[in-house]
Amino acid sequence: MNLQVLMLSGIVVMLLLVVVVQSFQLRRGAKQRIQASAAPTPVRVSEPTAVELESKLKAAYEAKIGEATVTFGTDLQATSTRLSEQVSRLTTTVIEEELEAYQKTLEEVRHVAIQAMEQIHQAVEHQRVELRDGMEVELAAEKKLLADKFDAKMGDVVSSYISESLGSGVDLGAQMQFILTSLEAHKEEIRKDLLNGV
């Protein structure tokens, strides 16, 4: 029994020792890894390799620069073309719109001017007609006045001539029939006037 206990105790002690050693080794390894990651070690390149790398890098850089320049030039050309087209289209549209507005305004002005001209023409025509009518009326009145004056003068001349010719040789007896006929013809007129006057 004691032996068995001893053996088992010895095994346990041995196992403990193994665990402690293993733990120590693991801790040291972790510490080394931490130290290695905190301070990288510089890469050392040889001179010829560096020259070669530099020349390759320069060539690649120049190639990239050239490529980018070409691409940029192409893009710029396209952009310029598009911009020109846009400007041209925009300019054309604006000019067309302005021209259209100008034509519309011009048309309106022309319409107004035509209307004004028509009104003026109508007014002038109306004035002309009125003037002509007025002148015709005045002319007719003047003509009638002159004719009446002439007739009156002529009537006066003739009647005066007849009166003068008759002179003192008036025979009232011969006129009585004419006088009575005249009175008979205007009997009602005289009677009406007298009766209204009384």
Partner 1 sequence: MASKAFQLPPAVYSPALVESVIYDIQFYLDWVRQNQIRKTVGAKVKEEPTHSAETVIVIQTWLAGKPASVESLEALLLTLRGLKLPEVHIMLAALPNQTQREVLVNWFRTNVSPSLLLSFVADRNLGGGLVVRTPNRVFDYTWKQQLIAGRTKLAEILKRV
Sites of contact with partner 1 (CB under 8 A)? 151-152, 154-156, 158-160, 162-163, 166-168, 170, 172-173, 175-176, 178-180, 182-184, 186-187, 189-191, 193-198
Distance CA(107)–CA(99), nearest Å, equals: 12
* Minimum CB–partner distance for residue 191 and partner 1 (Å): 5
Q: Which is nearer to partner 1, 10 or 155 (CB)?
A: 155
Q: Which residue has the tokens 């007298």?
A: 194
Residue placing its CB nearer to partner 1 in the complex, 49 or 175: 175
C-alpha–C-alpha distance, residues 124 and 131, integer Å: 10
Q: Please state the closest distance from residue 142 (CB atom) to partner 1, in A.
A: 18
Buried b (16+ CB within 10 A) or exposed e, 141-166: eeeeeeeeeeeeeeeeeeeeeeeeee
Nearer to partner 1, 58 or 191 (CB): 191
**Contact between residue 183 and residue 190 where contact means Cβ atoms under 8 Å apart:** yes
* Shortest distance (Å) from residue 194 CB to partner 1: 5
Per the structure block, which two tokens stand in for 110? 């022309």
**In angstroms, rounded to a whole number, what is the distance separating the alpha carbons of residues 180 and 187?**
10
3-state secondary structure of 167: coil
**Closest to partner 1 by CB, 18 or 176:** 176
Whose Cβ is closer to partner 1: residue 41's or residue 165's? Answer: 165
Shortest Cβ 137–partner 1 spacing (Å): 22
Query: Is residue 75 within 8 Å of 83, Cβ to Cβ?
Result: no
Smallest distance from partner 1 to CB 143, Å: 14
